[in-house]
Amino acid sequence: MGKRRRAREAAIQYHFWRDLQHGHGPERLDDFWEFCPATLRVRDFAQPLIEGMVAHLPEIDERIRRYCENYEFHRISAVDRNVLRLAIYEMLYRDDIPPVVSINEAIELAKTFGGGESGRFVNGILDRVKNDLTRPLREAVAKQNSDAAK
């Protein structure tokens, strides 16, 4: 498994932990890494994902609510919700990651950790998010400020 896939798994695990603690994560991120050991290379990719998701959580959750018209937000499984959060964060705030990569990774993570329909559910929501993007879908944008809001 590649470092980026492992880093994405760690980001989802961190936010799953936050969900179980009603929005509170560990006091220090090092506490999370003790619970979920990872190499330095994995941590280096995961850390900005984790912090970015926390920083933009209200906007990300609002986007999920908007596209789950006939499904209540709190009824989305914690795994699916956090896979969606990660992918939407990458699609909106990480220009260095092509949106199609974020979508494909999210589908695979949902299939691995979610229920039988998780891959299809995640794909459906992310397809709608993708349609709102104004940047190229299959290529990264030159890295200027990868966490700048669009």
Q: What is the pLDDT of residues 72-123, one digit of tens each?
A: 888 899 999 999 999 999 999 999 999 999 999 999 999 999 999 999 999 9
pTM for the model:
0.88
Residue 91 CA to residue 78 CA, distance in Å, equals: 20
Residue 38 has pLDDT above 70, yes or no: yes
Domains in the chain and their CATH numbers? 3-132 (1.10.940.10)
